[in-house]
Amino acid sequence: LPEQEAFDIEYWLLEEAKLQRMPKPKSLAGRVAIVTGGAGGIGSATAARYLSEGACVMLADIDPDALEATREQLAGKFGKDMVRTVSMDVTSEDAVISAYGELAVEFGGVDLVVSNAGIASSAKIEDTTMELWNRNQSILSTGYFLVAREAFKLLKQQGIGGSMVFVASKNGLAASPGASAYCTAKASEIHLARCLALEGAPDGIRVNVVNPDAVLRGSRIWTGEWLDQRASTYDLDKEGLEEMYRQRSLLKRSVLPEDVAEACYFFAAEVSAKSTGNIINVDAGNIQSFTR
């Protein structure tokens, strides 16, 4: 008998070793995703993460050149049949409707939605023009509404549930100096997501939120007007700002697009099947969260 036991153990160990060598099944295989702002830092990192798990991805963005560059890069890595693009302004009702039409034609439907297209543009309240206020409202608040409304129509028609992730911002929860237009629009995205979690649950549609803190590297937001505005608010250059954000985090680490992508992946994957209306802050432990 001890011999038999030794044999069993050896056999079991061999089977384990074989299992470990077998390629792991891809967790999003057969799924179709749309990522708005897919040509940007967080959007392209999220698309890459979904692709790495076997999903097909439609990149939607207002910037056709950046869209093509991102498509080329991702298609080179994951295969050209896995990635499509659609040029779309999230503030245009017609453009959003036709993007979902294209998605249905190209990939036969949708399972995963990442609403992420955005800008960062703000000012002190006395310098906030109607144009600036409305730009934040239309791209962030209204843009997320349109992307979600059309997704809901398609997801309900398909009848097999789905997962939607809103990339909002820590600024949708925590106030930031000189950024009321942006903060307010981001807060509305978060509340919209929670309302939609209620509405979507009976149809198996989950809606969750990922709130990044400042992501300076890889993001196109941190160039031009927003960078100048933040730099003058804090009297720091880009490196100084990144250091300030790093220092105010408990973990003393900068947040990267890939970190945000990982949280977006969590909400898309089966492991989060019991999560809806929830928020993950990707902020390396921003101390503001502990003093609110």
Residues in touch with ligand NAD (CB under 6 A): 36-37, 39-43, 61-63, 66, 88-91, 116-120, 139, 143, 167, 169, 212, 214-215, 219-221
Supply the DSSP symbol for 38.
T
- CB-wise, 62 or 205, nearer to ligand NAD? 62
Q: How far apart are CA 227 and CA 217, in angstroms?
A: 12
Q: Which of 152, 66, 166, 76 lies closest to 114 in space, CA to CA?
A: 166
**Residue closer to ligand NAD, measured from CB, 129 or 223:** 223
User: What CA–CA distances, in Å, run from 14 to 2, 3, 44, 187, 275?
Assistant: 18, 16, 40, 54, 37
DSSP string, 189-203: HHHHHHHHHHHHGGG
DSSP state of 251: T
Residue pair 197/276 in contact by the 8 Å Cβ criterion? yes
Rounded-to-integer distance, Cα 258 and Cα 245, Å: 17
Select 55 or 66, whichever has its Cβ closest to ligand NAD: 66
The contacts of residue 73 (CB under 8 Å, 6+ apart) are 44
Among residues 203 and 243, whose Cβ is nearest to ligand NAD? 243
Which DSSP symbol is given to 141?
I
Q: Which is nearer to ligand NAD, 42 or 161 (CB)?
A: 42
- Rounded CA-CA distance 119/106 in Å is 28
Q: Which is nearer to ligand NAD, 20 or 253 (CB)?
A: 253
**Long-range Cβ contacts of 127-134 (<8 Å, 24+ apart):** 128/180, 128/181, 132/181, 133/181
- Least distance to ligand NAD from the beta carbon of 241, Å? 10
- State which residue has the least CB distance to ligand NAD: 40
Taking the complex as a whole, the smallest distance from the CB of residue 204 to ligand NAD amounts, in Å, to: 26
Enumerate the active-site residues: 182
CB of 208 to ligand NAD, least distance (A): 15
Query: Closest approach of Cβ 257 to ligand NAD, in Å?
Result: 6
d(CA 142, CA 224) in angstroms, rounded, equals 24
Smallest distance, ligand NAD to C-beta of residue 238, A? 12
